[in-house]
Amino acid sequence: MRFKCRAIMKGKGIGRLLLLNEPFSFLGGVDTKTGELTVASGRQGEPIDGRIFVFPCGKGSTVGSYTIMDLKKHGHLPAAIINASAETIVATGAVMAGVPMIDKVDLSLLRDGDCALVDGDVLDMMDLDERKVVTCILRRKDKILLLKRSQKVGTNKGRWAGVSGFIERGERPEETALKEVAEETGITTARLEAMGAPLRVREGTNVWTIHPFLFEVGDEKVVLDWEHTECKWIALDELPGYDAVPGFRLVLDSLHL
């Protein structure tokens, strides 16, 4: 799976991710003579040599730029650097040392140990597959419809969700949404109220690119197909009591529910 990013220092680097969840300072965070992270990073003893080094952003003294140069001197540079948001210290060091670097990356989709390739402004996550789907929220008055996924579906068996389905090749998300609502609930009079911005959620080696939709429906009876075993109309404040599929709350947020 490929992501378009912003290139801070263009180049190519391949390796497994070494992922930190906190801002990182090269000064004090890594031993330049061994290339190993120090206790200050929370990952003491791990080498960054040949790894794609991932952290949200840099922090600390401007000497950090020269620390990266010192890593180069001792032959311990990472294969590449990935940030959510680059700042001057790390960016300057990467340019000076010639380390490929990108930012504008959603780090929530990455995992420590993932195999990846940084090439210019492209991040190729070799272990990940993208699955494009729609998730439709049906609202009747002040309640939304939850559907319990059956044991016959491929993923998230027994969990609660909205109407969902894969977007077929050549099909627009809006077309998929209307088709899935009719197939999974038997409701043919749903009225489209809102479309949320697409969002991404990772589950295992899959990244779900979800297109959210909100439909208003009347009193038409819900008729379930094989994909679901139960349905319930609930108020939004009841949702925490249900084991919902990953990203369901994000879908509601994108629709301002």
Crossing angle of helices 63-73/88-97, nearest 10°? 30
Q: What sign results for the dihedral spanned by CA atoms 64, 66, 70, 76?
A: positive
- Do 169 and 183 contact (CB within 8 A), yes or no? no
Report the relative pairing of strands 101-103 and 36-37 from DSSP bridges. Answer: unpaired
Could you tell me the two tokens for 65?
Answer: 């730029």
Residue 61 annotated among the catalytic residues of the structure: yes
Amino acid present at 62? T
Place of tokens 């894969």: 166
Strand ranges (DSSP E) for the chain?
Answer: 2-4, 6-9, 12-19, 30-31, 36-37, 52-55, 80-83, 101-103, 115-119, 122-125, 129-140, 143-149, 160-161, 163-166, 191-195, 199-203, 206-216, 228-234
Contacts (Cβ under 8 Å, ≥6 apart) of 118: 11, 12, 13, 14, 52, 79, 80, 82, 100, 101, 102, 124
Q: Which residue in the list 25, 61, 65, 164 is annotated as catalytic?
A: 61
- Do 118 and 80 contact (CB within 8 A), yes or no? yes
Cite the active site residues.
61
